[in-house]
Amino acid sequence: MTLYRNIMIILLITLGITGCNAEKPQENLSAATVSDQRIINADHEPQNWLAHGRTFDQQRYSPLDQINVKNIKDIGLDWHFDFDTHRGLEATPIVINGVMYVTGSWSRVYALNAVTGRLLWEYDPKVPGKWAVNACCDVVNRGVAVWQGKVYVGTLDGRLIALDAKTGKVIWDVMTIDKKLPYTITGAPLVARGKVFIGNGGAEFGVRGYVSAYDALTGKMVWRFFTVPGDPKKGFEAPILEKAAKTWHGEWWKLGGGGTVWDSMTYDPDLDQLYIGVGNGSPWNQAIRSPGGGDNLFLSSIVALKPDSGKYVWHYQTTPGEMWDYTATQQMISADLKINGKMRKVLMQAPKNGFFYILDRKTGALLSAKKYVKANWASHVDMATGRPVENPKARYYDNPWLAFPNPLGGHNWQSMSYNPNSHIVYIPAQEVPFLYAPDKNFKVVHPGVNLGADLAAASMPDDKTAKRQVMAMIKGHISAWDPVQQKELWRVQHPGPWNGGLLNTKGNLLFQGNAAGTFVAYDSRNGEKLWSFPAQTGIIAAPVTYSVGGEQYVSILAGWGGVFPLLAGEAALKSGKVSNNSRILTFKLGGRDKLPPWKYTEAYFPQPPAGTGNPKQIATGNGLFHHFCSSCHGDKAVSAGVLPDLRYSSALQDDRWFDITLGGILKDNGMVSFKTALNKKQLEAIRQYIILRAQILKRSKESNNK
Ligand code: HEC
């Protein structure tokens, strides 16, 4: 040992003893030297959560078992960290040698001591508040990737940024989108083979999807793969797009086409392939997007690419010619499974459309597909052709169609968890109906959503009996799914949908936070509820587990948000009323931390002004509200705990209404001016519609008080 090293060791020991947390193991910011090999061998360091799904296969199973079915009743909150934001939290933390790297709302990045919750550094990419209008589904972010001492984040406004894992300082910062178009990034980047892979969202607004690979060291773009063809007259970026273009009609490129890769990607080190999950069509309505039909490749597909070149290998399309927002962006789990007596390398996905798919990873061949939730758009998947057998009425070209699943999907981005020993997939599933009706007056607007489907027609009915029936149909559950037999073994029923992602462990535990605001541990063998914690907010993110100094922790981001409470109005209250209290909650055996006391309180409801609107004006306001406002302020102006409920707004009283909606005085907080899309007369119609909604609320409050 050299003298120099001896001195260094003495110095480190001294620092350790004199440090304020001498009894606690210290975080090691220098250990973020994650490599492909380290992730491949992740089971050799089960104390760490190295990558988004822990391992490359995205199984979200932890080999830790210090916390198990026997002692789970003894776990308690050990520390909590309060975010200073009040929007949805969807991220999976990465934990390496006692340091947690995580994102909050607005693409902000935090490094914390995973034992104490102490903030080590914070990075705010300063996403302009006005960019929020391009986000369909809240200003959320699903996490970072860590590789060779760097932390990578995709920002809502389209940047990919590499930070120094030790300090949070920017190493490089590249723009991945055309800033003239309404693209957003909410997904976690994936790093493999020295490249950072990132997609984007925006298919509710009119964009063309793609995924790009950047050199992880320098930030230089290596390749880009477009998921839908562009204008054929301009030539194709890849030979496969020429073939894909034959499955489109009309002038789809003028509308974008969609196919955004906004969430899941899986790297397969066995076959050196990258799988990308491709999103819905833009606009939704195929009659507008591609008149005359066609499969519209690669919408709603899983596509396999070569990670070094972005070259196409194979694809499987779950929903040809999709028109229900049935994305195939959901998590793709790779595993080895015995199917029909033969061991196969498979890829599993439960996309929005309600079918659970098993593909052969080598060839993309469909091995099986069965409904995991109620789905009425197709009866089954024909195994000879690999295509769904559709109900022709589901294509709402002329007439509305009451569909299961709805645009939330039978399963969305909330993570599944797979147990490689029992071969059970745990699915955070949901069953919600939706009326798809054609928008006969479609025209592209900005700001505003461009769906080609009429959201006002899909509103909650006013009639009490009809409403009760709809509310009864809205459900959520955990499905314990056997992928080999393709059937449900058991389920845990929840009051409503939009519950959190899942984690299962060697301790036979299954963890989930839910929309009702509770963090729960179940026995992963039978779904028995073993332990729960009141989280003071709805939970949508997925838990992780790690250990430091021989002690196991379970940690989760708690913070209500995402598309459901923004858009769904009363339906989003199905699990009960919750609000957003954005926090990280971390538990261990014998944990003794306490949250400050808190109780759900109704917002103050001022007396709404007397309305002056006539029925025609109010009908106009209803239509406009559901085209321009309901995606954030909720169906029928009912807010579910994240953004302001406009029925309660004092701005209904006076000209502040126009200062906000035309003047843009709240743009930095995510509420832009609508002056490029709406005039004063139209905004007055929206105001009159909301005043009517507030009057109805007032009457119901009065009759409840009687
Ligand atoms: C992309 C999301 C989004 C859309 C779409 C949107 N808003 Fe907002 N709105 C917000 C946010 C976020 C706030 C809260 C801003 C703040 O905290 O200051 C807000 C606040 C408001 C307020 C102030 C409420 C109060 O606290 O009194 C009014 C009024 C309003 N919006 C009207 C509208 C109208 C009308 C439309 C449709 C033309 C619309 N908004 C569309 C996000 C949105």
Q: 217 CA distance to ligand 1 centroid (A)?
A: 40
User: Which atom of ligand 1 lies nearest, measured to the CA of 686?
Assistant: 35
Give the count of beta carbons closer than 10 Å to the beta carbon of residue 522.
25
The per-residue b/e assignment along 116-140, b for 16 or more CB within 10 angstroms, e otherwise, is bbeebbebebebebbbbbbbbbbbb
Give the count of beta carbons closer than 10 Å to the beta carbon of residue 111.
27
Residue 688 one-letter amino acid: Q
Q: 184 CA distance to ligand 1 centroid (A)?
A: 19
Q: What CA–CA distance (Å, rounded) separates 432 from 408? A: 8
Residue 10 has what pLDDT? 45
Q: 671 CA distance to ligand 1 centroid (A)?
A: 5
Q: 673 CA distance to ligand 1 centroid (A)?
A: 9
Q: What is the CA radius of gyration of the chain?
A: 25
Which residues have a Cβ under 8 Å from the Cβ of 630 and sit 6 or more positions away? 455, 567, 569, 636, 637
- State the residue for tokens 């339906």: 571
Residue nearest to atom 36 of ligand 1 (CA): 629
Give the count of beta carbons closer than 10 Å to the beta carbon of residue 428.
27
User: Which atom of ligand 1 lies nearest, measured to the CA of 625?
Assistant: 37
User: Which atom of ligand 1 lies nearest, measured to the CA of 447?
Assistant: 5
Residue nearest to atom 12 of ligand 1 (CA): 670
Residue 675 one-letter amino acid: K
Residue nearest to atom 9 of ligand 1 (CA): 671
Q: What CA–CA distance (Å, rounded) separates 489 from 431? A: 18
Q: 562 CA distance to ligand 1 centroid (A)?
A: 16
User: Which of 632, 648, 689 should be mutated for ligand 1, with most atoms under 8 A from CB?
Assistant: 632
Q: 600 CA distance to ligand 1 centroid (A)?
A: 22
Residue nearest to atom 25 of ligand 1 (CA): 649
User: Which atom of ligand 1 lies nearest, measured to the CA of 650?
Assistant: 27
User: Which atom of ligand 1 lies nearest, measured to the CA of 649?
Assistant: 27
> Within its chain, how far is the Cα of 143 from the centroid?
10
Q: 657 CA distance to ligand 1 centroid (A)?
A: 10
User: Which atom of ligand 1 lies nearest, measured to the CA of 651?
Assistant: 27
Residue 177 has what pLDDT? 98
Measured CA angle at 370 (ends 366, 375), to 5 deg: 125
Residue 465 has what pLDDT? 97
Q: 334 CA distance to ligand 1 centroid (A)?
A: 41
What token pair was written down for 192?
Answer: 């493999």
Residue 166 has what pLDDT? 97
Largest CA distance in the chain: 88
Residue nearest to atom 6 of ligand 1 (CA): 629
What token pair was written down for 683?
Answer: 């905004």
Residue 539 one-letter amino acid: I
What token pair was written down for 77?
Answer: 């909150």
Q: Tell me which residue of 341, 380, 386, 381 sits closest to 363, measured CA to CA.
A: 386
Q: What CA–CA distance (Å, rounded) separates 503 from 505? A: 7
Residue nearest to atom 27 of ligand 1 (CA): 649
Q: Tell me which residue of 186, 248, 259 sits closest to 226, measured CA to CA.
A: 259
- Is 100 in contact with 120 (CB distance < 8 Å)? no
Q: Tell me which residue of 489, 487, 498, 320 sits closest to 410, measured CA to CA.
A: 498
Residue nearest to atom 8 of ligand 1 (CA): 671
Give the count of beta carbons closer than 10 Å to the beta carbon of residue 703.
8
Residue 25 has what pLDDT? 59
Residue nearest to atom 21 of ligand 1 (CA): 671
User: Which atom of ligand 1 lies nearest, measured to the CA of 135?
Assistant: 1
* Count of positions (residues) in the chain: 706
User: Which atom of ligand 1 lies nearest, measured to the CA of 566?
Assistant: 2
- Is 47 in contact with 35 (CB distance < 8 Å)? no
Residue 514 one-letter amino acid: N
Tell me the average confidence (pLDDT) per consecutive run of 10 residues in the chain, 706 residues long: 47 41 68 96 98 98 98 98 98 98 98 98 98 97 98 98 98 98 98 98 97 98 98 97 98 98 98 98 98 98 98 98 98 96 97 98 98 98 98 97 98 98 98 96 91 95 95 98 98 98 98 98 98 98 98 98 97 96 98 96 91 96 97 97 96 97 97 97 98 96 85
The per-residue b/e assignment along 219-233, b for 16 or more CB within 10 angstroms, e otherwise, is beebbebbbbbbeee
Q: What CA–CA distance (Å, rounded) separates 360 from 382? A: 17
Residue nearest to atom 32 of ligand 1 (CA): 661
What token pair was written down for 622?
Answer: 């209803």
Residue nearest to atom 19 of ligand 1 (CA): 671
User: Which of 130, 655, 671, 675 should be mutated for ligand 1, with most atoms under 8 A from CB?
Assistant: 671
Q: What CA–CA distance (Å, rounded) separates 94 from 101? A: 5
Q: Which residues have CB under 6 Å of ligand 1? A: 132-133, 628-629, 631-633, 643-644, 646, 649-651, 657, 660-661, 666, 669-671, 674, 686
Q: Tell me which residue of 482, 493, 497, 485 sits closest to 406, measured CA to CA.
A: 497
Q: What CA–CA distance (Å, rounded) separates 671 from 627? A: 15
Q: 609 CA distance to ligand 1 centroid (A)?
A: 19
What token pair was written down for 109?
Answer: 């990045």
What token pair was written down for 287?
Answer: 């009659």
- State the residue for tokens 């490129």: 253
Residue nearest to atom 16 of ligand 1 (CA): 669
User: Which atom of ligand 1 lies nearest, measured to the CA of 656?
Assistant: 29
